[in-house]
Amino acid sequence: MRFAKTAILFIALVFIAPMAFAGAWWSTVDRPSSWRSADWSATGLLPSPSASTDAAIYVLSARTGGFKGAFSVHSWIVVKERNAVSYTRFDKVGWGSPIRRDAYAADAAWYSNRPWIVAHLSGAEAEAALPRVEAAIAAYPFSNRGDYRIWPGPNSNSFVAHVLREVPQLDAVLPPNAVGRDYLSGGEWFALDPDGLDVHVSLAGLIGLSAGLRSGIEINLLGQTAGIDFNGPALKIPAIGRVGF
């Protein structure tokens, strides 16, 4: 009985309270009423692709649309080969063919929400990692029509998290409010990053744990994540995101 009370208190304080706060905050934010009225234009966040001959890889996230934007972000991948004069963007979406290529500008707003850079590689490091990124995208098991589920996954964040796990050179994890990121590829319950730095255990993205030098310590519950990042000191707060010290 004491354990049950402690568990309920933990969930209430660590998960429910931040989500309630995020919901209250989001209700005060001015946002578009539909995707038709939303801004999907380029934000100027990324440098012009012609400004450098170097290869580049970016992972971006932005708050998603509707009331679910209070609790989750949408994530995508942008790549540029050496000497290329344009970026290539990859998203997973919930309509039509799931893996979209260049459906939007590389750094476009998502439902009027400005993105930020989660991970970035450039130069020789990016050039070396590009084949692994392309292979991970091509091998993603949920890339057919109907292979999208907004919650608990596989969704846009499940796709990007798969690429991050397969390409440890990017040395990053998605924000804690990237709902679906813990839905493992192929519906597996266990995954070990290729470099052995992170281990993941998940029951269909509903409940699980991640631990390692990259993830720190994370508890995943119903698509949200709470934890501590020791490498770049920060708290991982459900619905709110990563709060660094």
Query: How high is the pLDDT of residue 94?
Result: 81
φ and ψ of 80, to 5 deg? -145, 125
Q: In what order do the strands lie in the sheet with 190-192?
A: 190-192, 198-203, 207-212, 216-221, 224-229, 234-237, 241-244
**Mean pLDDT on 186-208:** 92
Is residue 95 scored above 80 in pLDDT? no
The whole-angstrom separation of Cα 50 and Cα 27 is: 40
Residue 209's pLDDT is 96
User: Cα–Cα distance between 132 and 137 in angstroms, integer?
Assistant: 9
pLDDT tens for 169-181 read 999 999 999 999 9
Region 2-6: mean pLDDT is 85
pLDDT on residue 201: 96
- Answer whether residue 97 shows pLDDT above 80: no
pLDDT at 149: 92
Helix and strand totals (H; E) in the chain: 4, 12
pTM tops 0.75, yes or no = yes
Sign of the CA dihedral 209, 139, 41, 127? positive
Mean predicted confidence (pLDDT) in 123-133: 97
Polymer length of the chain: 245
Q: Give me the pLDDT at residue 186, please.
A: 75
Average pLDDT, the chain: 94
Taking 80 as the threshold, does the pLDDT of residue 28 lie above it?
Answer: yes
Nearest to 65 by CA among 97, 26, 102: 26
Query: 244 or 198: which carries more pLDDT confidence?
Result: 198
Secondary structure of 30-74 in the HEC alphabet?
CCCCCCCCCCCCECCCCCCHHHCCCCEEEEEEEECCCHHHHCCEE
Residue 152: what pLDDT?
A: 93
d(C-alpha 64, C-alpha 213), whole Å: 29
DSSP 12: I
Confidence band of 33 (pLDDT split at 50, 70, 90): confident
What pLDDT score does 231 carry?
A: 86
> What pLDDT sits at residue 35?
82
Helices marked H in the chain — which ranges?
2-11, 17-26, 123-139, 156-166
